[in-house]
Chain A
Amino acid sequence: MGARKTKKPILRLRAAAVFAAALAFVSPSLLHPGPAGATATVAGTVISNTATATFSDANSVGYASQSNTVSLTVWNAPALTNLNSTAQNVAPTDFVVTGPFTLTNTGNGTGYFALTQDAQFTGTVGASNVTLKGYVIVGGSTCTTGALCTEAQLNSALDSGSYATTAPNGTVQIEAEYQVASAPSVTSGTIVTTLTATVTYPATGAATQETSVASSAAETDTLAPDARLDLQKSVVAPASSSSNLVWTIKVNDGGGFPARDLTTVKTLLGASAAGIFITDKVPTFSGSALALVSAPSVSCYSGDTCTVYYSTNGTSWSATQNLSASYIGVFVYGDGPGSNVELPSAPSGSTGAGNVTTPQITITLTTVQPAGNLSANSNSVSNIANSVIGGNKDANLNVPVIGPTITVGTYDSSSPTLTGVFNNTTASSGTTPPGGASNIVYTQAYPIYSVLNGPYGVPGATGNYTGGTPVDNMHDFTEYGFLCSQTPTSTGTCSATGSIVIPMSIQNTGNIDDTFYPINDTGSVSGWTVNYYVATACSGGGSTFPTNCTQGAAITSSTPVSILSGATVNYEAVYTATAVSAFVPQTWQITVKGVSGSETNDTYDVLYPGGALKISKSVAATATNCPSVSSGTEPANGSTSGVCPGGVMTYTLSYQNLAPAGLAPSGAALGTEPAFATNAVLISSALLTEDGGASCSSGCTTYTNNWATNTFGLNAAPVDSNYGTYTTFTYFNGSAFAIGTYPGITAGYTKFTAALNATGTTNTGKVVAGQSGNITFTVTVR
């Protein structure tokens, strides 16, 4: 029983049973042997002394004499030595057996031992963190319960049987057991156990009264943390978009005791797998594990063997290489510094999770970079190695050493609680591990900056504002015509009524968040201003020009708009036009720039002052019906200045889409432009109203539209130069048009509306940019 150990009570019971069995074959005298070697003079011994002398007289006659006798009686002199062996390291929750404290009757009589009081606990850990469990006599009797004795029970045992007459030099060994609190108020320090005992000699012989003497001995134990696997994980950020990510996990037992194998590991890797298992979830991005580039490499602890395992689900493991695995693990086995010990205590090598200065094991795994939106954002990939499974210092207890909050048998986690750095402060208790998680590490893909800028909703449109074949997303465009506040003329100026709002979109197509701002790359244009704002809640888009956007914050180079990787933000260019040239389209190059990566992309806004459709009207007498005159000049056919009753006048209504034809591509030339981008100048729903009896409407200075008054009305259906004879008109009486010729008719329709149909398809009122045409109709003068 000389070896120090710690054990749980159940083990104590088992040991006690063994000792009890052995006791039957051991003589009590062997348990506390009698005098051996130098022995004190037994109490009651009478020491007598008489001196003698010889001498002679002058004649050399010899004589002798003798003194009186001096007698002294040796009395009871109880003496006790109390010794114990070396100190030991203890951990929270440990049941610690101190001693054995060896009590030796070093006096000169027989007597019995007794504790003067319970074992006293001092030291820096403090008595409040220690609980006395009891005592045993080493190799001797146990208490009636077969377990630890109380002080009273121990003293009773020491004062009975052969123990009661322990001879000089006889010894008794006593062990005291205490338990360290599961969560002591201090994590380290000393626990001093002091045991004070007496040896008592009964009154006997010359000794007329019982005498005793006390002696104390102390054992100083050191509270140390249990086995604790500290991990430090690190990763090197990629140096280029083609480089890989290299993850390193350093492992060290930073606790005060060796880390051992654990039964739980066997349930994962097989019954024969006695060792420590260090697992790591392969870092993921967007829910997918980054592919391993090669098998992880391991620098194993000297004397151990390390084997790499792979798993796709964390529960089934195989040593067969699988670079698509979601989990990797390193099984550490071997005797290491001792049987069933994989890693010795090396507290100088680490101080906790994320702080391993001298690793015992180093694991390196290489993965590809994450890819896609957000992948280059800082810390887009986070990872910890927190599933360390091993046994604590006591193989019998089979207490796992894994990361806090990690249940045995699980590996890594995306739990939101796994943030920050774990502190390995969780004490070992039962199945509660004492720690072992690593720090959390972050990295990201190499940044790729990219942006698209284009029409609303289609930032990557591939149109070509020049009308040419689209080749990229740098020439897309949005065309828009606007009305002037005054009646425009081809040579006049135009001022827009209010602002001209062109919604557009920016998409961050890089793999990293950035901020962006648009600029006008066209330069200053007289009469024009342009500013940019965040636009939200727009209506329309697609085939309908987006309108009614909610204007947000201004976007400038100093106040760029933040756009997440892959996200799109709508913005609007707000133009003002004051005294600009009417009917002169203005093309704006709008360049969006990224702040961090200086990425750019262009789009174009083409604005048409004065509206897109220009109309004009003319009339000529196709048949003047004037009689011949003898003198002067009578109107001839084709006259634009005169006509006679019965003459036929032909009115021509000319229309023109002022947008240059090249800015309204169609078909393949349209690219991926949204419909509204060209519909802005593809005149749609253009209704021409010809009202022969109308008064001047707004903007007119005079009105002379009285042809209906002096004619019989329309002679026939109007004819569109692009479409031909209209078959569908809207006449204001809603009836079919009666076609006739003077004087066969007495009256015809005097007004109509016709949807311009320059596209030549159906009567949808569309006129493509740059296209012109006219509508003609004839009337007969009354």
Chain B
Amino acid sequence: MKKSKADPKGVLTGSHFMDGDHAIAEGGLAAGCRFFAGYPITPSTETAERFASRIPMIGGMFIQMEDELGSIAAMIGASWGGKKVMTVTSGPGFSLMMENIGLAAMMETPVVIANVQRGGPSTGLPTLTGQQDMMQARFGSHGDYRIIALSPDSPQECFDLTIEAFNLSEIYRVPVFVMTDECVGHMHEKVVIPPAEEIELVERKWYTGPIDKYLPYKNDKDGIPFMVKAGDGYLFHTTGLTHDERGYPVINAETQKINVKHLIDKIDNNAEKIIKIEEKETDGAEVLVISYGITSRVAYKAVQDAKQGGIKVGTLRLITVWPFPEKRIKELAKKVKSIVVPEINAGQVVLEVERVTAGKCRVVSVPHYGGWVHDPDDILKAIKEAV
């Protein structure tokens, strides 16, 4: 993996007061993204607008495509042209992009997609918050594959995690989602953008060997194949069909097993390196509150109230939602009495928690159907009942 420093032209160093959407755009620019193909959708449009107004001065491409299907297809094409690419969307657009997200996963193309979630399903609540696409990020496209999804809880994290998303997608050649929501997306807060020299970036593994020996999908020692871009004389072929090391389609069960297992192992075997969580006071806790995104900030109030009431509460904030931090949660499940999972959906990540804990402790879901954040008292009530 080649490490590189950010291009100062794209880094708006300084202390800013901006919302999450804008921070995502700035994060992308700081990470070296110079290609954005998108489609306007509330509440994510501000990211596209900011990118469109910033990129002509930096040097890059912004194109508003005719729909989200075209956006994701153009992004994959541009990624094979060697560029770092991103787009931003919300629920309905996310659904439209799903087929080609599968293509990006199959072709092992680095792309970054930010989903500023809103109330669903269907057109739902365009202007109000939700966290209802978490399972869709994991299972949205057909077939078996793995992706990475990050969940920022503030505009500052929107900036930081977008850069992290780019680095992860370049290392693992996989679509990476920044799963934020309308609340964080439209919330104005202080965002500190460091100088370019302090931003660490990773480039994809470019192949540098002899042209006639290049195999597009031959795994390197770390389990990830080398990548090339069009126009460098490799005359390679890549396809969405099940393929072998040469990138040629091979339609049989043996190749399918190798191909699909590779897509799965690429992320599962490296899960420990990818996963980021934030734990607070989990030692000796009776109740553990697992949350992510904006809900973690609302849960903070409930947790403070519970601690004042004498309950030993620990928190685990999922910064990486997929791959799911199974190992740590399994360990904690043995030590705590119960786990409370508040989320702005009818219960999605809680299903993973239930699966992983496998009955070792009680799991309490605190769903919220969308449109607003939780009332901290609802979470407090759940914590009290969980003891």
A-B interaction: no
B residues near A (Cβ < 8 Å) are none
A residues near B (Cβ < 8 Å) are none
